[in-house]
Amino acid sequence: MTIQEEFRSRNFSIYGQWLGILCMFLCIALGIANFFHIHPLTIIFSIICLVSGLIIIFIEVPLLLRICPTSSTFDNFIRRFTTNYMRAAIYGIMSLVQWLSIIVQRTSLIAAAVFLLLTSICYAIAGLKGQGFVGSKTLGGQGVAQMIV
Protein backbone atom coordinates (compact mmCIF):
# COMPACT_ATOMS: atom_id res chain seq x y z
CA MET A 1 0.00 0.00 0.00
CA THR A 2 1.45 3.36 -1.02
CA ILE A 3 1.19 6.55 1.01
CA GLN A 4 -1.44 7.85 -1.39
CA GLU A 5 -3.56 4.71 -0.88
CA GLU A 6 -3.14 5.01 2.88
CA PHE A 7 -4.55 8.54 2.86
CA ARG A 8 -7.46 7.43 0.65
CA SER A 9 -8.37 4.65 3.08
CA ARG A 10 -10.17 7.14 5.37
CA ASN A 11 -8.72 5.42 8.40
CA PHE A 12 -8.16 8.14 10.95
CA SER A 13 -5.48 6.17 12.78
CA ILE A 14 -3.23 6.54 9.72
CA TYR A 15 -3.97 10.28 9.64
CA GLY A 16 -3.14 10.39 13.35
CA GLN A 17 0.08 8.51 12.84
CA TRP A 18 1.29 10.86 10.11
CA LEU A 19 0.26 13.89 12.15
CA GLY A 20 2.15 12.31 15.04
CA ILE A 21 5.30 12.18 12.91
CA LEU A 22 4.79 15.85 12.09
CA CYS A 23 4.31 16.56 15.81
CA MET A 24 7.54 14.76 16.57
CA PHE A 25 9.51 17.11 14.32
CA LEU A 26 7.61 20.16 15.55
CA CYS A 27 8.06 19.31 19.23
CA ILE A 28 11.77 18.70 18.88
CA ALA A 29 12.37 21.82 16.77
CA LEU A 30 10.18 24.12 18.86
CA GLY A 31 11.49 22.68 22.10
CA ILE A 32 15.03 23.56 21.05
CA ALA A 33 14.04 26.96 19.61
CA ASN A 34 12.16 28.06 22.74
CA PHE A 35 14.87 26.84 25.07
CA PHE A 36 16.65 30.18 24.60
CA HIS A 37 13.89 32.38 26.07
CA ILE A 38 14.58 34.49 29.12
CA HIS A 39 11.51 33.44 31.09
CA PRO A 40 12.34 30.31 33.17
CA LEU A 41 8.83 28.81 32.89
CA THR A 42 9.00 29.07 29.10
CA ILE A 43 12.25 27.13 29.24
CA ILE A 44 10.52 24.44 31.32
CA PHE A 45 7.68 24.20 28.80
CA SER A 46 10.20 23.98 25.95
CA ILE A 47 11.97 21.10 27.73
CA ILE A 48 8.61 19.37 28.18
CA CYS A 49 7.92 19.88 24.47
CA LEU A 50 11.30 18.42 23.58
CA VAL A 51 10.70 15.38 25.81
CA SER A 52 7.23 14.98 24.25
CA GLY A 53 8.84 14.85 20.82
CA LEU A 54 11.20 12.13 21.96
CA ILE A 55 8.33 10.11 23.45
CA ILE A 56 6.39 10.47 20.19
CA ILE A 57 9.32 8.93 18.29
CA PHE A 58 8.94 5.72 20.27
CA ILE A 59 5.12 5.75 20.13
CA GLU A 60 4.90 6.21 16.36
CA VAL A 61 7.91 4.18 15.23
CA PRO A 62 7.71 1.00 17.34
CA LEU A 63 10.75 -0.51 15.64
CA LEU A 64 12.90 1.86 17.71
CA LEU A 65 11.99 -0.03 20.90
CA ARG A 66 13.86 -3.00 19.44
CA ILE A 67 16.82 -0.98 18.21
CA CYS A 68 17.45 1.53 21.01
CA PRO A 69 18.59 0.36 24.42
CA THR A 70 15.78 1.42 26.75
CA SER A 71 14.69 0.27 30.17
CA SER A 72 11.87 -2.21 30.65
CA THR A 73 9.91 0.46 32.54
CA PHE A 74 10.07 2.80 29.53
CA ASP A 75 9.18 -0.05 27.15
CA ASN A 76 6.11 -0.93 29.24
CA PHE A 77 5.10 2.74 29.32
CA ILE A 78 5.30 3.02 25.52
CA ARG A 79 3.46 -0.29 24.99
CA ARG A 80 0.39 1.17 26.71
CA PHE A 81 -0.25 3.34 23.67
CA THR A 82 -1.24 0.69 21.15
CA THR A 83 -4.92 1.59 20.91
CA ASN A 84 -6.48 4.65 19.33
CA TYR A 85 -8.01 5.81 22.62
CA MET A 86 -4.73 5.61 24.53
CA ARG A 87 -2.91 7.49 21.77
CA ALA A 88 -5.66 10.12 21.75
CA ALA A 89 -5.23 10.46 25.51
CA ILE A 90 -1.44 10.89 25.47
CA TYR A 91 -1.56 13.39 22.62
CA GLY A 92 -4.39 15.25 24.38
CA ILE A 93 -2.32 15.49 27.57
CA MET A 94 0.75 16.68 25.68
CA SER A 95 -1.40 19.24 23.86
CA LEU A 96 -2.93 20.50 27.10
CA VAL A 97 0.52 21.04 28.61
CA GLN A 98 1.58 23.09 25.59
CA TRP A 99 -1.66 25.09 25.69
CA LEU A 100 -0.86 25.91 29.32
CA SER A 101 2.44 27.41 28.17
CA ILE A 102 0.44 30.31 26.73
CA ILE A 103 -0.41 31.41 30.26
CA VAL A 104 3.27 32.12 30.89
CA GLN A 105 4.23 33.63 27.55
CA ARG A 106 2.93 33.42 24.01
CA THR A 107 5.54 31.59 21.98
CA SER A 108 5.73 29.30 18.99
CA LEU A 109 4.92 26.38 21.30
CA ILE A 110 1.30 27.04 20.35
CA ALA A 111 2.04 25.40 16.98
CA ALA A 112 2.99 22.20 18.79
CA ALA A 113 -0.17 22.47 20.90
CA VAL A 114 -2.37 22.80 17.81
CA PHE A 115 -0.84 19.85 15.97
CA LEU A 116 -0.83 17.66 19.09
CA LEU A 117 -4.53 18.47 19.48
CA LEU A 118 -5.23 17.59 15.82
CA THR A 119 -3.43 14.28 16.28
CA SER A 120 -5.43 13.54 19.41
CA ILE A 121 -8.66 14.31 17.54
CA CYS A 122 -7.71 11.98 14.67
CA TYR A 123 -7.02 9.10 17.05
CA ALA A 124 -10.23 9.82 18.98
CA ILE A 125 -12.28 9.80 15.76
CA ALA A 126 -10.67 6.50 14.75
CA GLY A 127 -11.63 5.06 18.13
CA LEU A 128 -15.20 6.38 17.96
CA LYS A 129 -15.64 5.01 14.43
CA GLY A 130 -14.43 1.63 15.61
CA GLN A 131 -11.45 1.68 13.28
CA GLY A 132 -8.68 -0.50 14.58
CA PHE A 133 -5.21 0.96 14.80
CA VAL A 134 -3.47 0.45 11.48
CA GLY A 135 0.16 1.44 11.29
CA SER A 136 1.46 2.99 8.12
CA LYS A 137 3.42 0.53 5.99
CA THR A 138 5.94 3.30 5.34
CA LEU A 139 6.70 3.61 9.06
CA GLY A 140 7.03 -0.09 9.75
CA GLY A 141 3.51 -1.40 9.25
CA GLN A 142 1.53 -3.88 11.29
CA GLY A 143 4.12 -6.65 11.21
CA VAL A 144 6.69 -4.61 13.09
CA ALA A 145 4.12 -3.25 15.55
CA GLN A 146 2.91 -6.76 16.40
CA MET A 147 6.46 -8.06 16.88
CA ILE A 148 6.95 -5.53 19.65
CA VAL A 149 3.62 -6.07 21.41
CA-only gyration radius of the chain, Å: 15
| pLDDT at residue 38 tops 50 | yes
| pLDDT at residue 108 tops 90 | yes
List Cβ<8 Å contacts ≥24 apart for 4-13.
6/136, 6/137, 6/138, 9/134, 11/126, 11/131, 11/134, 12/84, 12/122, 12/123, 12/125, 12/126, 12/129, 12/131, 13/84, 13/87, 13/122, 13/123, 13/126, 13/131, 13/132, 13/133, 13/134
Where do the structural domains in the chain lie, given as residue ranges?
9-148
Name the pLDDT band for 145 (thresholds 50, 70, 90): very low
pTM given for the model: 0.86
13: nearest Cα among 111, 79, 88: 88
Distances (CA, A) of 79 to 70, 111, 114: 13, 27, 25
Q: Which residues contact 106 (CB under 8 A, 6 or more apart)?
A: none
Secondary structure of residue 44 in the 3-state scheme = helix
CA dihedral 20, 122, 101, 90 (to 10 degrees): -70
Distances (CA, A) of 117 to 16, 28, 87, 134: 10, 16, 11, 20
Name the pLDDT band for 6 (thresholds 50, 70, 90): low
Cα gap 134→58, rounded to integer Å? 16
Q: Residue range 22-36: average pLDDT?
A: 94
Name the pLDDT band for 8 (thresholds 50, 70, 90): low
